[in-house]
């Protein structure tokens, strides 16, 4: 080889080491969500994390999770979640997470959207699960993708019946939920043989692969934004679909993933609220004032992106601290998120504790 000739093999190695050129098709899938969250955290000026309180919170969370024997089986113990481990449960979970967004209300507890089912009144996330169970009891195939795509059978009038409330307030973002159902039904029919299980199988047991597949094929799962000039990904509902599958099937069958720990927490309302109450997260005075005054924050606003990104990174720090306490601990970001969400709902029942907690931030969007 002369001095003027190019060593293409060496050049390819250099390009790969610098992250240049096309991605390696044989490399395992990555969602980049955690990487983007770390970027937001390091460049955040309005949201901060406290490492000292994070260490204390990690120890307390791990202690309580051990005392409660908290794990994947806890998911199925919730009153309305499906119990069978079959394709019907897969369809239920996909429908649930397709529509799993924006339940908060500006109305009082008595006036907000609520669903009566099984002699109980359900609000928030549980109102959606109750809606789906009630529709199935009424022989409305609400968890069937081909039904969503059929505008005659699945008309707006039928869906209004499905989502009917016992109050005068209808479910928030009804039209957006209808659009999500229509889009998902059409794509699953055309690209996945009308089967959600085919969609799952296309990911080849990769949690990150399934998250990426959802974000790539369905615009209604493409939960992204721009922070400080950089595209950042959150993919809350795509991730929680994978997590719910994993939990519902106890890591087996349709819930078997070889990289489940690549899933981060699900950046929404309740977990940031809990992280603040635990002392792990703090807000600049203007942002905290806006949250306490219950004023809405626009979807995609820098404040909202910082809250979501720092929440993801904080849960990752808690996970790492727990593993320092016990390297053999069976814990990941999914279980920590589930636990803190359940804890937030428990505290809602205690008026004194709720008064001490900051309200959750108000952002109306389909992303969470």
**Alpha carbon of 18 to those of 6, 21, 35, 341: distances in Å?**
18, 9, 17, 40
Q: What is the CA radius of gyration of the chain?
A: 22
Measured CA to CA, the distance from residue 233 to residue 31 in angstroms comes to: 8
C-alpha dihedral over 192, 194, 200, 202, to 10 degrees?
-20
Number of H helices, E strands in the chain: 17, 6
- Buried b vs exposed e over 242-277: b needs ≥16 C-beta within 10 Å? bbbbbbbbeeeebbebebbebbbbbbbbbbbbbbbb
Measured CA to CA, the distance from residue 261 to residue 246 in angstroms comes to: 11
Count CB neighbours of 290 within 10 A. 17
**What angle, rounded to 10 degrees, do the helices at 87-98 and 125-137 form?**
130
Give the distance from CA 143 to its chain's centroid: 19
Which residue out of 50, 268, 328, 352 is catalytically annotated? 268
CB 124 within 8 A of CB 114: no
Active site residue 268: yes
In terms of Cβ atoms closer than 10 Å to its own Cβ (0-12, 13-18, 19+), residue 24 is exposed
Assigned token pair, 136: 């199935």
Q: Which residues are catalytic?
A: 268
């Amino acid at each position: 080889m002369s001095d003027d000739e190019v060593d293409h093999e060496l050049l390819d190695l250099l390009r790969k080491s610098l992250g240049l050129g096309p991605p390696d098709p044989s490399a395992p899938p990555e969602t980049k969500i955690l990487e983007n969250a770390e970027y937001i955290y390091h460049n955040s000026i309005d949201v901060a994390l406290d490492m000292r309180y994070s260490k204390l919170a990690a120890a307390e969370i791990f202690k309580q999770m051990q005392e409660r024997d908290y794990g994947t089986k806890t998911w199925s113990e919730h009153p309305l979640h499906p119990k069978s481990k079959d394709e019907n449960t897969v369809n239920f979970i996909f429908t649930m997470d397709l529509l799993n967004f924006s339940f908060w209300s500006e109305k009082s507890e008595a006036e907000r959207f609520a669903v009566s089912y099984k002699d109980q009144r359900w609000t928030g996330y549980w109102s959606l699960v109750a809606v789906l169970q009630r529709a199935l009891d009424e022989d409305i195939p609400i968890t069937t993708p081909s039904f969503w795509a059929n505008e005659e059978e699945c008309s707006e009038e039928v869906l209004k019946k499905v989502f009917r409330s016992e109050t005068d307030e209808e479910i928030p973002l009804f039209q957006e939920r209808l659009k999500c159902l229509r889009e998902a039904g059409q794509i699953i029919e055309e690209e996945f043989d009308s089967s959600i299980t085919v969609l799952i199988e296309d990911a080849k047991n990769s949690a990150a692969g399934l998250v990426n597949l959802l974000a790539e094929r369905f615009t209604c799962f493409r939960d992204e934004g721009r922070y400080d000039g950089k595209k950042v990904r959150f993919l809350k509902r795509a991730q929680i679909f994978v997590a719910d599958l994993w939990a519902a099937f106890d890591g087996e069958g349709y819930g078997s993933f070889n990289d489940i720990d690549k899933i981060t927490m699900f950046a929404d309302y309740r977990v940031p609220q809990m992280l603040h109450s635990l002392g792990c997260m703090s807000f600049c005075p203007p942002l905290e004032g806006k949250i306490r005054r219950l004023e809405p924050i626009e979807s995609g606003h820098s404040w909202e992106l910082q809250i979501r990104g720092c929440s993801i990174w904080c849960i990752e720090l808690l996970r790492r601290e727990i593993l320092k306490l016990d390297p053999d601990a069976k814990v990941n970001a999914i279980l920590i998120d589930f636990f803190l969400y359940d804890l937030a709902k428990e505290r809602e029942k205690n008026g004194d504790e709720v008064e001490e907690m900051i309200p959750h931030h108000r952002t109306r969007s389909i992303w969470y």
